[in-house]
Chain A
Amino acid sequence: MSQSYNRGLIEDFGRWKEFSAGMWAWIFHKFTGWILIGYLFTHIAVLSSAIAAADGQTIVVGGETVNAYTGTLQGLESLFIVRVMEVGLLAVAVFHILNGCRLLMVDLGIGLEAQDKSFYASLVLTGIIVVASVPTFMQGVGL
Chain B
Amino acid sequence: MSTQQQEPEEAPETDPEAAEVPPESHEMKAQSSPQQARLQRKQDGLAARERAADETELEGDTVHIKVFRYDPEVEAKQEPRFDDFYVPYTRGMTVLDALIYARDEFDPSLTFRHSCRQAICGSDAFFVNGSQRLGCKTQLSELSQPVRIEPLPHQEVVKDLVVDMEHFYDQMHSVEPYFQQEDLPAGELAEQRQTRENREKVKMSTRCIWCAACMSSCNIAAGDNQYLGPAAINKAYRFAMDEREDEEIKEHRLRIIEQEHGVWRCQTQFSCTEVCPKDIPLTEHIQELKREAVKKNLKFW
Partner-B contacts on A (CB < 8 A): 1-7, 11-12, 15, 17-18, 20-23, 25-26, 103, 106-109, 111-113, 115-116
Contact = CB atoms under 8 A, between A and B. Distances in A.
8 contacts: A4-B156, A6-B156, A20-B274, A23-B269, A26-B267, A109-B291, A113-B34, A115-B270
B166 interface: yes
Nearest to A119: B270
A113 to B, nearest CB: 4
Closest 8 CB pairs of A and B: A22-B270, A18-B130, A4-B156, A3-B72, A22-B269, A113-B34, A11-B153, A5-B157
A11 B154 contact: yes
B41 to A, nearest CB: 9
Contacts of B131: 18
A81 to B, nearest CB: 34
Chain B interface size band reads 20 to 34
B5 interface: no
Contact of B268 (A4, A6, A103, A113): A103
A21 to B, nearest CB: 7
A106 B270 CA distance: 10
B269 A11 contact: no
B222 interface: yes
Contacts of B291: 108-109
Given A1-B158, A5-B70, A5-B80, A15 B269 contact: no
Interface in B200-227: 219, 222
A112 B259 CA distance: 24
Secondary structure dominating the interface of A: helix
Contact of A106 (B35, B72, B166, B268): B268
Interface string B128-148: 001100000000000000000
Contacts of A18: 130-131
B66 to A, nearest CB: 15
A109 B222 contact: no
B283 interface: yes
A113 B269 contact: no
B68 to A, nearest CB: 9
Nearest to B80: A5
